[in-house]
Amino acid sequence: MSCIHGNYEALNAVLSDIDRQKADRIFCLGDLVGYGPHPNAVVEMIRSMDIPTVQGCWDEDIVEGLNACECSYPSILAEKRGKAAHEWTNDQIQPEVREYLAQLPLSLREENLCFVHGSPHNQHEYLMPEINAFTALERVMATGADVLFCGHTHIPYVRTLDAGQLAVKVQQPEGTSTKQFTAPLKQIINAGSVGEPRHGRPNATYVIYDTDDKLTTLREVEYDYQLTCQAIIDKGLPAIFAWRLAQGLEYAERAEDPTHVCER
Amino acid sequence: MWAIASGIEGNLAAYEAVVADLKKSRQEVENFYLLGDIIGPTAESNRLVKRIQQPRNGEPIPLVCQGWWEEQILILHTLGRTGEPTELIDRYGIDMTKTLWDAIDSTTLKWVQSLEFGFAELDCFLIHGSSVDVSDELTPTTDPIQMLDKLSRMEANQLFCGRSGLAFEYKIESGSLTSQVQTLDTLSAPTPTVLSPRRIVGVGSVGRIEGKASYTLYYPGSNKLEFKTVRYGAKKGFG
């Protein structure tokens, strides 16, 4: 699971669904906080269950201070709202929660599976389903794993990359050589978002991966999102976050170039 | 034709040898690129920079971008993209921070600040390291998928770089990959991606090896490359 964003109601619903699916292990791909009204409760739940978790970009911002470049915000309005949410979260976060977020690793590895928030190169990089296939392959290959789990885009997907090959000829003053590159089946599995979905519906999303038969199930879980929407408004967070959650959309917040990585 | 060089590292004699070699060429040098590491930790670097800024009659005017040594002096003056000279110290020891600081005068520093990050021209990108980092050392043994990624990031078919100091042509002649995407609502058909040829060129090093300057000529009309080596007198360069 990924991108819980302080949405405790959604987290509870997903944890119940995971329980019903009888999963052996749970991994969390970061962004525990931000946007949502219950950042401390979400972190406490993840900690209490000892769920292996990587650090997301929002988690990093709460620890390091907000220092993303202006490219993170496609409009002045979006920037204003993002900063307001950051400041609210920063004020609410308890010291031990901040300490926990600070010590989270940027990646986790479990046999041939790798877990990151954005991409192996950067927490802020969006691995969209439509990025160039060779770029996608490079991101998996960079980890040394066969399956790369990521989040950050808030839309779940499975991208299968098969039969990759490159033929290379190298010429140097000393002579010429050739090399063949082949890549067996690789996958990028995006876990979507528990607490701030953007696939067009308000339901929480996550994925189940079967390590035996290598099959992925994209899960969509209904829950009472109105409770979170109400809490967003009650706590004084920007009301658009409630509207956005209710729609499952990132209206007016889409970055012009999702592959752009902030230079910090 | 284009002349492309890198890694002078304050070696004025080596630079003079390359310029003299270019003057002998029958073809006009349309663009003369210097892909960073113009300076090194020597006072001679200041004289070299003056020389580069004042080409003599008939000499091509160099287009210069920042290299690793330029980045290091900027870091020392807190003008770099990163805060600490960690890489400089790791590679050459703590004393090098003072040596470099003392060697480069304020006029040269100002010039370094004015340099480009890299150049995009036709379907080429020209840079010291790579689009990811000025320290990025692309070599003939770099993994093909990484090489392709560095090219793709610049949306270029040809990447000329100088960090390794080596002269090489790394041609990705062909490539293919099948991709399929499943979302909550759709499952796409398997889609093939076929790669057109593209290449990464290491342009050599002018001043790193004493007595032997190497650089590259590129002919945009024919897409031909020519690696040049110039032997010159015994004056010592850095490295």
For the segment B134-171, what is each residue's pLDDT rounded down to a tens digit?
999 999 999 999 999 999 888 899 999 999 999 999 99
Flag whether pLDDT at B93 surpasses 50: yes
User: Do residue B175 and residue A129 have CB atoms under 8 angstroms apart?
Assistant: no
pTM: 0.87
Flag whether pLDDT at A200 surpasses 80: yes
pLDDT of residue B236: 45
What tokens appear for A50 in the block? 């000892």
Rounded Cα distance between B31 and B22, Å, is: 12
Q: Which domains does chain B have, with CATH numbers?
A: 2-231 (3.60.21.10)
Out of A248-257, B12-21, B27-36, B174-183, pick the least confident.
A248-257
The string over B191-217, giving b where at least 16 C-beta atoms fall within 10 Å of a residue's C-beta and e elsewhere, is: eebebeebbbbbbbbbbbbbebbbbbb
What tokens appear for B53 in the block? 């800024």
Flag whether pLDDT at A251 surpasses 60: no
User: Do residue B177 and residue A134 have CB atoms under 8 angstroms apart?
Assistant: yes
DSSP A186: E
User: Do residue A134 and residue B193 have CB atoms under 8 angstroms apart?
Assistant: yes
Q: Which of A135, A166, A168 comes nearest B152 by C-beta?
A: A135
DSSP A70: G
pLDDT of residue A65: 73
Q: Where are the domains of chain A?
A: 8-114+189-247
Give residue A66's pLDDT band: very low, low, confident or very high (50, 70, 90).
low
* Nearest chain A alpha carbon to B133: A263
CATH code, A8-114+189-247: 3.60.21.10
pLDDT of residue A79: 76
Q: Does the beta carbon of B184 lie under 8 angstroms from any beta carbon of chain A?
A: yes
Q: Does the beta carbon of A38 lie under 8 angstroms from any beta carbon of chain B?
A: no
Among candidate residues A114, A100, A162, A102, the one with its CA nearest the CA of residue A142: A114
State the first-to-last Cα distance of chain A, in angstroms, to the nearest integer. 27
pLDDT above 70 as % of chain A:
91
Please name the residues in contact with B61: beta carbons below 8 A apart, sequence gap of 6 or more: B32, B55
Give the B window 205-234 contacts with A, CB below 8 Å: 227, 229
Rounded Cα distance between A150 and A30, Å, is: 9
**Nearest 5°: phi and psi at B194?**
-115, 135
**B chain contacts of residue A168, beta-carbon cutoff 8 Å:** 144, 147, 170-173
Q: Does the beta carbon of A141 lie under 8 angstroms from any beta carbon of chain B?
A: yes
**B chain contacts of residue A167, beta-carbon cutoff 8 Å:** 172-175
Give residue B84's pLDDT band: very low, low, confident or very high (50, 70, 90).
confident
